[in-house]
């Protein structure tokens, strides 16, 4: 009986030793305590699984390296514990020695839209001629009190089409009604073939009416009666700051606005001078020409006065564009 008990005790001791030996062998081979990544759910730190996925997306690993980490070689057990991949800190530089680096495409700067430089807005009180006071466009009517209106611009275009020879002058302002905002110095008609002596200072509308009269009435009449064209038109008065007929107490003349012109003589191409005065008894051609000029000129002017009207107009024709309320035309 004692022998049997001792044998059982020895067998138990032997079994314990075998178990200890087996456990020691297994632990030395790496099969004892295998640590596995555990997800830390609910904690503030990033989970191991999330870190592994983030590192796999953020870093590119060579395919061979991935295969080596994913599965051990055939016939061998892994002798090393699996490493837990972690997201590198933002301050640390990632190790790119074992990784494939794909160069980034160069970023092309987007072209900036081109915009015209903005000009300063004109002030409300900057109503002056030129660019002073923040005026952006001195020709714009709303930005300059002395800007040229659309009718003045159109008038000058018609003058050029008729072949009027003229030059722009500085504004005239002698006080009261004696002023012309945009005066012209007129020196010829028909592209210079008909001269005006001396040069006359007029506004554009009066210049245009006179040019139409020369082309449509005076030139054809002289060719018909004298078989010659016009060489020179002699004027006696254009702009002048004065009253009518220079008489004290009378209304201001249209000459004070550059709106009138006086003609005293006409010189033809054949050298003939036609004086604007009452002709003699046997001056049939001169009388016929002056009468025709006087009657037809009312189609171009609102006032036509000449020899026989009064003593102030016995030596010249007076033409003007006076605006009367009734629209009456004075042809005398």
The gap from C-alpha 277 to its chain's centroid, in whole angstroms, comes to 57
Q: Is 218 part of any domain?
A: yes
Give the domain range for residue 174.
150-331
pTM attached to this predicted model? 0.57
**Confidence band for 26, pLDDT divided at 50, 70 and 90:** low
What does the pLDDT read at residue 22? 67
- Return d(Cα 196, Cα 213) in angstroms, integer: 14
State mean pLDDT over 125-149: 45
pLDDT, position 8: 64
- The full 3-state SS of 39-91, as one line of letters, equals CCCCCCCCCHHHHHHHHHHHCCECHHHHHHHHCCCCCCCCCCCCCCCCCCCCC
Structure tokens at 274: 């036609």
Whether residue 166 lies inside any domain: the answer is yes
Band (pLDDT 50/70/90 cuts) for residue 331 is confident
48, part of any domain: no
Least confident interval from 107-121, 264-278, 295-309, 314-328 = 107-121
What pLDDT is recorded for position 15? Answer: 72
Instruction: Read off the pLDDT of each residue in 184-210 and give the average, rounded to a whole number.
Output: 97
- For residue 284, being part of any structural domain is answered with yes
pLDDT tens, position by position, 224-238: 999 999 999 999 999
Mean pLDDT, the chain, as a whole number? 74
Using the predicted structure, report yes or no on whether residue 42 has a pLDDT greater than 80: no
To the nearest whole percent, how much of the chain has pLDDT over 70?
58
Position 297 scores a pLDDT of 92
Confidence of residue 211 (pLDDT cuts 50, 70, 90): very high
Please confirm whether the linkage preceding 198 is cis (ω < 30° from 0).
yes
State residue 245's pLDDT score: 86
More confident residue, 96 or 25: 25
Task: Write the pLDDT tens digit of every residue in 279-310.
Answer: 888 888 999 999 988 888 989 999 999 988 88
Residue 314 is assigned to a structural domain of this protein: yes
Classify residue 89: in a domain, yes or no. no
Mean pLDDT, to the nearest integer, of 51-71?
44
Task: Please tell me the distance from the alpha carbon of residue 292 to that of residue 286, in angstroms, as a whole number.
Answer: 10
C-alpha span between 189 and 235 (Å, rounded): 13
Given a contact cutoff of 8 angstroms between Cβ atoms, the answer to whether 62 and 98 are in contact is yes
Among 2-6, 18-22, 125-129, the range scoring the smallest mean pLDDT is 125-129
Is 159 inside any structural domain? Answer: yes
Number of folded domains that form the chain = 1
SS (H, E, C) 233-292: EEEEECCCCCEHHHCCCCCECHHHHCCEEEEEEEEECCCCEEECCCCCCCCHHHHHHHHH
pLDDT higher at 41 or 253: 253
In this structure, is the dihedral angle defined by the CA atoms of residues 273, 276, 279 and 285, taken in order, positive or negative? positive
In a domain, 132, yes or no: no
Residue scoring higher pLDDT (171 or 129): 171
Band of pLDDT at residue 203, cut at 50, 70 and 90 = very high
Mean pLDDT lowest among 30-34, 110-114, 176-180: 30-34
């Amino acid at each position: 009986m004692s022998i049997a008990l001792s044998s059982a005790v020895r067998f138990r001791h032997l079994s314990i030793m075998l178990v200890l030996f087996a456990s020691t062998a297994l632990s030395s081979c790496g099969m004892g305590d295998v640590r596995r990544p555990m997800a830390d759910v609910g904690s503030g730190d990033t989970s191991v699984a999330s870190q592994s996925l983030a590192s796999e997306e953020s870093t590119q690993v060579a395919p061979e390296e991935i295969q080596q980490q994913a599965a051990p070689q055939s016939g061998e057990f892994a002798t090393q514990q699996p490493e837990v991949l972690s997201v590198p800190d933002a301050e640390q530089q990632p190790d790119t020695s074992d990784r494939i680096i794909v160069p980034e495409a160069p970023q092309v700067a987007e072209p900036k839209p081109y915009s015209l430089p903005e000009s300063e807005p004109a002030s409300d009180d900057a109503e002056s001629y030129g660019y002073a006071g923040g005026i952006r466009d001195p020709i714009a009517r709303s930005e300059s009190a002395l800007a040229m209106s659309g009718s003045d611009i159109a008038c000058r275009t018609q003058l050029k089409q008729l072949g009027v020879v003229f030059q722009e002058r500085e504004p005239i302002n002698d006080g009261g009604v004696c002023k012309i905002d945009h005066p012209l110095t007129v020196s010829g008609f028909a592209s210079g073939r008909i001269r005006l002596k001396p040069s006359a200072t007029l506004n554009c509308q009066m210049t245009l009416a006179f040019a139409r009269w020369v082309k449509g009435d005076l030139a054809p009449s002289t060719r018909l009666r004298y078989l010659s064209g016009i060489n020179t038109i002699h004027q006696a008065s254009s702009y002048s700051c004065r009253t009518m007929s220079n008489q004290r107490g009378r209304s201001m003349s249209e000459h004070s606005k550059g709106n009138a012109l006086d003609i005293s003589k006409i010189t033809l191409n054949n050298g003939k001078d036609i004086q604007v005065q009452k002709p003699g008894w046997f001056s049939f051609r001169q009388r016929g020409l002056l009468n025709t000029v006087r009657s037809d000129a009312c189609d171009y002017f609102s006032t036509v006065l000449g020899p026989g009207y009064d003593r102030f107009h016995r030596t010249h024709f007076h033409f003007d564009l006076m605006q009367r309320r009734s629209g009456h035309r004075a042809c005398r």
